[in-house]
Structure 1
């Protein structure tokens, strides 16, 4: 009877994984071996490896994802640490999470309004006599907007890790003569590494495949694997090459997960 109950509860989860995780991955992997005419071939992987354009896109994707992750980590850790010390921590955390409830496309268009030639920022610059500048369709604008959108996903796991640290450990460190800085570097930060690793996963992995922000904010000046996948599936109709790039992204994401899992184990030890 107990085994039947377990099966009833786990069956929907198994079906969900099979239909919406395993099946799409298998389909993408199979599709990556098809050319534009639907014939089996290795040409997609050969073209990817020998193409300087695709290798440059891969480098751009990893580089921008790394920059976005570093920026969000530098901003998110102090924010999470300060919020964890406040009495009304739930209120401030809700304010940070609130933007995630807004549709990504709406937030992106909001930044277009802010950064455009006639946007709020340029209007303010003209008002103070600095003059308008080309803020939209630049690499800096893309990184800034992407970091803003991904920021809550870095703050939340770090906040949870910091709040999970027993207060008695921090008090013991201070009572034994450690300074605030020593307590942070020797107690708080090492014990919050699991949150940092989870935040890196939550930010770096989605940042590898960004394409909407690169189109609308970067203005096609920022070319990544995400934009290449969109181009192959929606424009050139070369689904095989698009799937090949998708497989490369999946492998990159798995590598990131393995690396951050190792950090998690070390931090736990």
Structure 2
């Protein structure tokens, strides 16, 4: 009976294992394999030596990390207060749904919408003209790229933080206030530390995709913002140097693993946490 139950349990994991093998492990393995070949399809390590010896690629790497950090920082500064405020509302699930709704719209449509808003004749410049500042060059700047990327990523930061707040036991907050803690002390020593896993999950959900942005760098940044995502697109679609593009992809995968390790839950070894 036990063996039959174990067999049924194992069968339940087959679809998941197949999905993981076909759409996660196989693509990653293919990228790693392709990174060791040059344009003539000859095995080589030159792609990696070129990457780490090139000041251009290293600058792209720094730019990617820097912009991803800024986007994550601004997203977090906006998302935590927003999630905290939404959690206090009566119909918080409804308001959360309104926050998530923009994620249902294609990112390309949102990018073109912001092109219209930030253009010389767009709503942003019309408002600046109305208040006497006059039209400014908003589109195709670093600031516009960070603004749009932050706007797009906000729901992905709000949701895990909101879930962490929703899972927080109110008894801890009541106990803190019964012991005489102020609202700020309760937030700083009780609420924020206990919801930190939600913040870390939000950082993963925002920082990792932000490392490889390429569409917004062209449409909103006007190719003035150069990241590794832009380089990958260039190598795969323009120069057709799939080996170099795959090499950059491997670097991004390693960076993503590092981010997930740093932001993962650090559980003490040797038993349950005290």
TM-score (norm 2): 0.95
Deviation at 1:162, TM superposition (A): 1.1
1:46-79 deviations in Å (ceiling 9; x for gaps) = 0000000000000000000000000000111111
The residue number in structure 2 matching 1:16 is: 19
Deviation string for 1:111-162 (max 9, x for gaps)?
1110011111112222333211100000000000000000001011011111
Q: Which runs of 5+ in 1 are unaligned?
A: none
Counterpart of 2:136 in structure 1 is 133
Q: Secondary structure at the match of 2:264?
A: helix
Of 148, 151, 155, the match for 1:148:
151
Q: 1:83-109, CA deviations, whole angstroms, 9 ceiling, x for partnerless residues?
A: 111111111111110100111111111
Equivalent residues, number: 267
SS of aligned partner of 2:36 = coil
In the alignment, structure 2 segments of 5+ residues that lack a partner are none
Return the structure number with greater helix share: 1
Say which SS state the counterpart of residue 236 (structure 1) adopts. coil
Q: Find the partner of 2:65 among 62, 67, 76.
A: 62
Candidates 186, 189, 202, aligned match of 1:186: 189
Q: Which moved more, 1:220-229 or 1:169-178?
A: 169-178
> Mean Cα displacement is larger for which, 87-96 or 198-207?
87-96
Q: Secondary structure at the match of 1:5?
A: helix
The whole-number CA distance in structure 2 between the counterparts of 1:230 and 1:122 is 32
**SS of residue matched to 1:237:** coil
SS of residue paired to 2:13: helix
Give the structure-1-normalised TM-score.
Answer: 0.96
2: CA distance between counterparts of 1:38 and 1:117? 47
CA RMSD, aligned part only?
1.2
Alignment of 1:1-269 (within 5 A): 1-262=4-265, 265=267
Describe the SS at the equivalent of 1:194: helix
